[in-house]
Amino acid sequence: MYMRAEGYCCETVTREYGFWRTSNHSRCIIKKVKYVIGNWKSNQNISQSLIWLDGLSALHPKFSPEVTVILCLPFTDIASFNHKISDLNLPIISGSQNVSHLAPGKHTGEITANMLSELVNYCIVGHSERRQEFSETSEIVAQKARLLLESSITPIICLDTPYLDEQIKALFTCDVDVSRCFFVYEPISAIGIGKPIDSVSANHIANQIAFLTDNAAPILYGGSVSSDNAASFVRENCIDGVLVGTDSLEPTLFAGIITSLS
């Protein structure tokens, strides 16, 4: 428990997930931990992922204790990647990009949360590409999030306007503990085009997400993130980190983003 931050009409401030939350649920601007999450999507085979790690290690990026680095990989890369980051002593946490919405059982080809539980700490769900290309509904995303939490994996849940109410309502309907999740504001219009929305607009939506989830969890921005703009998003009071797509595939660019937040 900590003394209140100046300018907030509250009595106490608690630290949760590295950001600060006031007793009246206002979100404070003081943040001690920032998040950089890479999403390789359907790129990099095992050999390429190991070469990528060698390349990142050779750059000697500045890994600040204030920045948590997570890399969400294709299923096939995860085990070898985990061994390699241990060998190189790199402070990177592995995650996956998807999980089945089904519990273990007779579901040929499905990768369940239980299977992933010995490999990763995080998993992306609800990415716009999965919602669009695979017709994943908010109910399916919520089922995935609940199963991940049951296997002690933190869901990284992607959201977008104008569907925030419906997407978040589905989580509560499915009894998902939102305080144990990460949320990403991921505007479809900004994904992979090199033109992110401005940080003030992103912060406005992040504030809506914070309100709808009772300020319970970290909120990140994703969409054309680069070393040139990452810090501008994290400086906003409602944004705790960034989800990086294209620029996570190149070690130099990814290292630049990490350094920009350190």
Locate 87 and state its tokens.
């060998």
Q: Is 250 a catalytic residue?
A: no
Task: Spell out the alpha helix ranges (H) of 60-124.
Answer: 78-88, 113-116
The whole-angstrom separation of Cα 211 and Cα 233 is 18
Q: Which of 127, 129, 136, 236 is catalytic?
A: 127
**CB neighbourhood size of 156 (10 A):** 29
The whole-angstrom separation of Cα 246 and Cα 70 is 15
The whole-angstrom separation of Cα 256 and Cα 62 is 9
Looking at residue 77, the DSSP 8-state letter turns out to be G
* Cα dihedral across residues 41, 43, 48, 51: positive or negative: negative
How much is the pLDDT for 8?
Answer: 26
Q: What is the pLDDT of residues 177-215, one digit of tens each?
A: 999 999 999 998 877 666 789 999 999 999 999 999 998
Q: What is the pLDDT of residues 141-165, one digit of tens each?
A: 999 999 999 999 999 999 999 999 9
CATH architecture entry for 33-260 = Alpha-Beta Barrel (3.20)
- Delimiting residues of CATH 3.20.20.70 domain(s) in the chain: 33-260
How much is the pLDDT for 191?
Answer: 73
Query: pLDDT under 50 in the chain at which residues?
Result: 1-25, 28-29
- pTM for this predicted structure: 0.89
Q: Which residues contact 222 (CB under 8 A, 6 or more apart)?
A: 37, 39, 158, 184, 185, 186, 191, 242, 243, 244, 245
Q: Which of 129, 136, 186, 236 is catalytic?
A: 186
Q: Is 105 exposed, middle or buried (0-12, 13-18, 19+ CB in 10 A)?
A: exposed
How much is the pLDDT for 141?
Answer: 99
Locate 92 and state its tokens.
């990177």
**CB neighbourhood size of 260 (10 A):** 19
* AA identity, residue 122: Y
The whole-angstrom separation of Cα 193 and Cα 209 is 24
Q: How far is CA 163 from CA 97, 125, 185, 259, in A?
A: 21, 15, 11, 33
Q: Is 127 a catalytic residue?
A: yes
How much is the pLDDT for 27?
Answer: 53
Pairing verdict, β 12-16 and 154-159: unpaired
How much is the pLDDT for 188?
Answer: 86
Q: Is 64 exposed, middle or buried (0-12, 13-18, 19+ CB in 10 A)?
A: middle
